[in-house]
Amino acid sequence: MIRYKPGRVKVIIMDVDGVLTDGTISFGNFNDDYRGFNARDGLGLKVWGKAGYHSAVITAKSSRAVKRRCRELGIDLLYQGVEDKLRVFNKALLRLKVTPEEVCYIGDDLPDLPVLRAAGMAVTVPEAPEELRNVADYTTVSAGGRGAVRETVEFILRAQEKWESLIKVYTG
pLDDT, position 122: 96
C-alpha closest to that of 64 among 80, 75, 82, 86 = 80
Rounded to 5 degrees, what angle do the CA atoms 22, 26, 32 make? 125
pLDDT, position 90: 98
What are the residue ranges spanned by the domains of the chain?
6-167
pLDDT, position 47: 97
Q: Which residues of the chain have pLDDT under 70?
A: 1-4, 24, 29-31
Give the count of beta carbons closer than 10 Å to the beta carbon of residue 125: 29
pLDDT, position 1: 36
pLDDT, position 4: 61
CATH architecture of 6-167: 3-Layer(aba) Sandwich (3.40)
pLDDT, position 141: 96
